[in-house]
Structure 1
Amino acid sequence: MTSPVSSAHSADQVPATTSAGASGKGGSTLRSPRQLADAGLIPETMLRDVGKVAARYATAIPPAFLSLIETPDDPVGLQVIPHPDELILAPSERDDPIGDDALSPVPGIVHRYADRALLKPLLICPLYCRFCFRREHVGPDGGLLDDMALGKALDWLRAHEQIREVILTGGDPLMLSARRLEHIVRALSEMSHVTTIRIHSRVPLADPGRITDALIAAMETDRAMWLVLHANHEREFSPEGRVAVRRMQKRGIPVLGQSVLLRGVNDSVSALEGLFRAMVENRVKPYYLHQLDPAPGTARFHVPVEEGRALLRGLRGRVTGLAWPTYVLDIPGGYGKVPLGPDYLDPGGDSVTDPQGQLHRVSDL
């Protein structure tokens, strides 16, 4: 990492990695191939190949998330257990699939849209998704902005008064200590042009014990504060995770849901229906369903766009509009997100298709 980024996890910045107290369950986060094998998540015969994957991409499975895995190839396990196929690169895959690096004016900032910017205070996560579009950068040993780098990032935001919304991402911002998070939220709240703060996180479901009163208090602000919760399967909504989400909602923080369409995880109408119903039942509004970004070694999770559109079409009429996300593609190279449909108005604009597949002339309506 370059000098503005520190690998030191000081008590004022990042809390202890994972313990029984942090996760609410006994045991430690699984990080090595040997630990994965001992836990029955990979066979002994895969140790060498998974070791090659682990040398390139970080691994972490906290106890709370581990408890949700029934088999290594189930929809929860597939998301976090490393696999040798991650070293197979498809021609379309890129180290920086959505152009973060090219759109970073200073370390920790990504500026893609005129009125908003990403602030990445760290690149540390509670778990490391095997399909992550930042997998070349995230990991437990780096990516934490030191005080000087964070100050420069905040100064950049102060100087660009067209920025109305700041999205805290990374990594996972809720891996920060309460003190560090409070410092960042306070600094953003003091910028008169920043009206909205958004936090993207897997922590409430992946490691719900981290959602402490102090961490929630650190998010308090007079600006509009939103949490976007990442979940890909209904089983991620454990009883402890549901409590963590509800505690944040009780403090007035609205929660949206975002997911990635993944082969073997949620690539069926029934799986998506279960996921979105679980969100709505927990007062989480489905926001985005992302088409998989072409990060290195992620082809095994790819679902073609037309198949994704068909899945969303299959949900129409089965779930409430509250459970309907926008299916989006983040155009590779940093060109931004666009909705993918499905479409119900025919190309000529003369008729629409109802949820049962019947055509109706617009002129007759």
Structure 2
Amino acid sequence: MEDVDVSDLWDCSQEEWDDWRWQLANSITTAGELKEKFNISDQQVKQIEEAREIFPMSITPYYASLIDFDQELCPIRLQAVPQKAELEQSKYEMDDPLHEEEDSPVSGLTHRYPDRVLLMVTNKCSMFCRHCTRKRKVGDGESRVDLEQIKKGIEYIKDNPQIRDVLLSGGDPLLLDLDILEEVISELKDIPHVEIVRLGSRVPVVLPQRINDELVNRLKKYSPLWINTHFNHKKEVTPRAKEALNKLADNGFPLGNQTVLLRNVNDCPLVMKELMHELVKNRIRPYYLYQCDLSRGIEHFRTSVSTGIEIIESLIGHTSGFAVPRYVVDAPGGGGKIPITPNYLVSNSRRKTVLRNYEGDIVVYTEPEIKEDNCPEECNVCTENKEKAANGEAVEPSGVQKLLSEDTKEFSL
């Protein structure tokens, strides 16, 4: 519906519609407001209000204009409008399924992996996605992120030279005041050991008006600045969204996408392939396909892991390699992202590895004859890394990598 005359639904000018601040100021936050714009029943209003008491509703007029209320399983509606199923809770669900709070050495910063951290810079979002994994923070007035907290996170990053990659998250970083966002990015870019700064944002999907010339011109000074978007269905890749994506890509922002696997939204191989193709056509690299987290009230969105494997099976070999995202389960309890793929390894020995391809053919790959597995004598990479570790510049191997090291005497984790 996004291309209809918006004055039919909202009493506004085209100039107002194109203003991201107007969009936020006129976000739909009650079932009554939704009923004013769309043909929904009193029973639906009651169910929306009941679910809204558990997790607030906020939908930008732009994203609401994409909803087809005549379609029971409209993928836009399912992601935006509260529903009765949210009131049902599974005993497996948690407020903080990924243990972000426990992996937080300072407030608002999660340090789970050795060389990268997630820094929360705001709890504000342009829309409250019904499948949100951070419902405990988003839209919660008690969970505000202030500049003092962000500064403490930056100091932690400065004091830990192994950190080379910082992801700014929230909430949505692109809703921050640009002066503050610039200040944060500038300070991070001035840290010698920080090589990459990324922003995770749903703005190109639900509020593409925010991607304007002012934002682009102020942020492109810090290139490369990676932006991970969050498109879950082809219907979200509208002409307006494409305009925003082109503005980012044309100005040198590398774009990736993180899709969440959602029941009745995109849990179909054909639907997912269509989305991946739309992404790459618009210069977005599919990055992750997430298994839905164990957050409270979203049991109805979760699929089986086998569904995700089937989708990946339908992509590998059947489309371009760069159009295939990495399917991951973000392990409950802070275990991190675990990649899940179909099994293409049939068997192997020291001399031969038996594989199957995407068509089901069984093939053999003959291994090279290697008399010695040791590194060349002139190689000193490991020695240099040990010296760096002693000076606090690097981290000793951990996990399975540690077991594979020639220097370890451990035989189990």
8 Å CA contact retained: 2:354, 2:363: yes
2:86–2:298 Cα contact (<8 Å) kept: yes
Structure 1 residues 39-58: Cα deviation after superposition (integer angstroms, max 9, x where no partner)? 33753113333223212212
Residue 360 of structure 1, aligned match among 360, 363, 386 = 363
Gaps of 5+ in 1: 1-17
Distance 1:347 1:100, change over 3 A: farther
Aligned to 1:168: 168
The higher radius of gyration belongs to 2
C-alpha distance in structure 1 between counterparts of 2:359 and 2:82, whole Å: 41
In the TM superposition, 1:101-120 aligns within 5 A as: 101-120=101-120
Query: CA shift at 1:26, angstroms?
Result: 11
Does the aligned pair in 2 maintain the 1:126–1:172 contact within 8 Å? yes
SS in 1 for 2:200: strand
- Report the count of equivalent residues: 348
Residue 351 of structure 1 aligns with which residue? 354
- Runs of 4 or more off by more than 4 Å in structure 1? 23-27, 347-350
- Given that residues 93 and 295 in structure 2 are in contact (C-alpha distance below 8 angstroms), is that contact kept between their aligned partners in structure 1? yes
TM-superposed CA distance for 1:317, in Å, is: 2.9
Residue 125 of structure 1 corresponds to which residue in structure 2?
125
For 1:356, the aligned partner's letter is E
User: What amino acid is the match of 1:64?
Assistant: Y
- Retained in 2: the 8 A contact 1:205–1:242? no
Partner of 2:28: 30
Q: How does 1:176-191 map to 2 (within 5 A)?
A: 176-191=176-191
SS of structure 2 residue aligned to 1:333 = coil
Distance 1:41 1:310, change over 3 A: farther
Deviates more, 1:34-43 or 1:294-303: 34-43
- For 1:203 and 1:329, locate their aligned partners in 2 and report how far apart those are by CA, in whole Å: 24
- The farther-off stretch of 346-355 and 30-39 is 346-355
Summarize deviations over 1:140-167 as a string: whole Å, max 9, x none: 7454422322222222222222111110
For the pair 1:206 / 2:209, whether they are aligned, the reply is no
Aligned amino acid, residue 279 of structure 1: L
- Give the 3 Å change call, closer, same or farther, for CA 309–29 of structure 1 in structure 2: same
Q: Any unmatched runs of 5+ in structure 2?
A: 1-15, 369-413
**What amino acid sits opposite 1:67 in the alignment?**
S
Task: Give distance in 2, aligned partners of 1:29 and 1:128.
Answer: 11
**CA RMSD for the aligned pairs?**
2.3
CA distance in 1, matches of 2:124, 2:39: 23
Q: Name 2:147's counterpart in structure 1.
A: 147
Residue 290 (structure 2) aligns with:
290
The one of the two structures with greater contact order (alpha-carbon pairs below 8 A, sep at least 6) is 1
Contact 1:20 1:27 in 2 (8 A): no
- 1:236-266 deviation per Cα after TM superposition (whole angstroms, max 9, x unaligned): 1111111111111121111011101111111
Query: What TM-score, normalized by structure 2, do the two folds share?
Result: 0.79
The residue that corresponds to 1:92 in the other structure is 92
Please, which moves more after superposition, 149-158 or 108-117? 149-158
Q: Residues 91 and 191 of structure 1: is their aligned pair in 2 closer, same or farther, counting only changes over 3 Å?
A: same
Distance 2:173 2:25 in 1: 23
Q: Residue 64 of structure 2 is aligned with which of 55, 63, 66?
A: 66
Change in Cα spacing, 1:261 to 1:347, as seen in structure 2 (3 Å) is: farther
**1:325 is aligned to 2:321:** no
Whether 1:77 aligns to 2:80 is: no
AA matched with 2:219: M
Distance 2:207 2:142 in 1: 20
SS of residue in 2 equivalent to 1:167: strand
The percentage of counterpart residues that share the same residue type is: 32
C-alpha displacement of 1:316:
2.5
